[in-house]
Chain A
Amino acid sequence: GAVVSQHPSWVICKSGTSVKIECRSLDFQATTMFWYRQFPKQSLMLMATSNEGSKATYEQGVEKDKFLINHASLTLSTLTVTSAHPEDSSFYICSAPWTSGFYNEQFFGPGTRLTVL
């Protein structure tokens, strides 16, 4: 199956700094990737759809200036949490669809644990 990686797997930063999280499709190309946020013991909340070569599409209530998304190539999307604050601490997960037959199956990265002090 297809593999999606994320880097870093965990990061601790000071309040006010920016953090970049990478999502890579290792053995397939992805023109679209999805970024999710998962709070403890809660479901995944879709934050935005990352589109290669164009602007990301953000879900309602997600601050686009706070969560910058860049999809620079067919295998890499980055999420930058700008001026991070403790309330941004969360588990961030990306996914990428891979075509298998007639359906695009989603493959998920292992997630990035962000802790903002």
Chain B
Amino acid sequence: DQQVKQNSPSLSVQEGRISILNCDYTNSMFDYFLWYKKYPAEGPTFLISISSIKDKNEDGRFTVFLNKSAKHLSLHIVPSQPGDSAVYFCAASARTGANSKLTFGKGITLSVRP
């Protein structure tokens, strides 16, 4: 039972254009959402997060949007750069519990073409 879903396994965009990575979740208890970036043979690196009390959070080229009613979030990267090519994981947690463990999606492989 996938509680966090990243339905598109891959995305290819031109350098300088916008990359939009989507994520859906099913568990209404999730109240904190994160995006991680992962290169091969490395651990995930934190990118950006958003609390359920917000609908947008921006950090440089990265913006995360949250639509709670649709249980959907997206990561926008503008402008995309070749160095952004990696696997991107959406993750969620229910911080009301004592354990803020993360539930991850399967990831999206982003390729940015020069």
A binds B: no
Which residues does A use to contact B, with CB under 8 Å?
none
